[in-house]
């Protein structure tokens, strides 16, 4: 089933943006969800803003202001532990942390919850909701791998932003679109990978 059928979603997807390289992944993920009329609640760490400044042409503030024009979008500061996504009583469709730093992987793996992003991830786990992490680092140390393994064992999806070389994608945009579709698909929302694969076939 494609979301072009206008499946109506009331509950939001939570998007956490942390300070790993790959700000474009966060931007595209939110753009695509909003484009599909899926509500989004976003938060980002302080480090994520620094990385965004290095990697993106449009400032983080301008991008958030543009997103805010959409009534389906809301944003909470990293220190706002009173926000709805800090509590399990707020229903959500799950959470994607993209990109996900190894520091945030470690904090989530150990239930640290020292900022809103980590707390929202902790809530997703305790409420038994889908949590998808897109960790970007290379090489990975044994510490990183052990943290990811402990999360994978409790059902968290670890989805490193690796290109599908077999699809022979020609540019960064194609690779990012594929990874974004894959991470949304991992939440269990239908249609995103189907749309992506249809697109890939069209460009063959």
Q: Which residues bind ligand FMN (CB under 6 A)?
A: 18-21, 45, 47-48, 50-51, 54, 101-104, 136-137
DSSP 121: H
Measured CA angle at 39 (ends 34, 45), to 5 deg = 85
Place of tokens 């402990």: 150
Closer of 38 and 175 to ligand FMN (Cβ): 175
Return the exposure string of 6-31: e unless at least 16 CB atoms fall within 10 Å of the residue's CB, then b.
eeeeeebbbbbbbbbebbbbbbbbbb
Q: Residue 57 CB, nearest distance to ligand FMN (Å)? A: 15
CB of 137 to ligand FMN, least distance (A): 4
Give the residue with the Cβ less far from ligand FMN, 3 or 23.
23
- In whole angstroms, how close is the CB of 72 to ligand FMN at the nearest point? 25
Shortest Cβ distance from residue 195 to ligand FMN (Å)? 28
Q: Decide: residue 173, CB within 10 A, 0-12 exposed, 13-18 middle, 19+ buried.
A: exposed
Nearer to ligand FMN, 50 or 197 (CB): 50
Task: Select 116 or 189, whichever has its Cβ closest to ligand FMN.
Answer: 116
């Amino acid at each position: 089933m494609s979301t072009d059928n206008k499946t109506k979603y009331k509950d939001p997807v939570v998007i956490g943006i942390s300070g790993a390289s790959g700000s474009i992944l966060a931007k595209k993920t939110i753009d695509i969800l909003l484009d599909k009329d899926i509500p989004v609640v976003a938060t980002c760490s302080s480090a994520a803003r620094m990385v965004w400044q290095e990697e993106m042409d449009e400032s983080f503030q301008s991008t958030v202001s543009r997103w805010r024009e959409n009534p389906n979008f809301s944003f909470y500061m990293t220190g706002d532990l009173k926000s709805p996504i800090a509590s399990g009583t707020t229903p959500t469709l799950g959470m994607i942390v993209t990109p996900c730093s190894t520091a945030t992987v470690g904090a989530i793996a150990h239930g640290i919850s020292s900022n809103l992003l980590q707390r929202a991830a902790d809530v997703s786990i305790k409420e038994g909701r889908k949590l998808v992490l897109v960790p970007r680092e290379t090489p990975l140390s044994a510490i990183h791998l052990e943290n990811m393994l402990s999360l994978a064992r409790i059902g968290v999806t670890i989805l490193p932003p690796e290109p599908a070389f077999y699809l022979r994608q020609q540019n960064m945009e194609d690779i990012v679109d594929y990874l974004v579709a894959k991470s949304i698909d991992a939440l269990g929302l239908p249609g995103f990978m189907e749309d992506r694969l249809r697109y890939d076939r069209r460009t063959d």
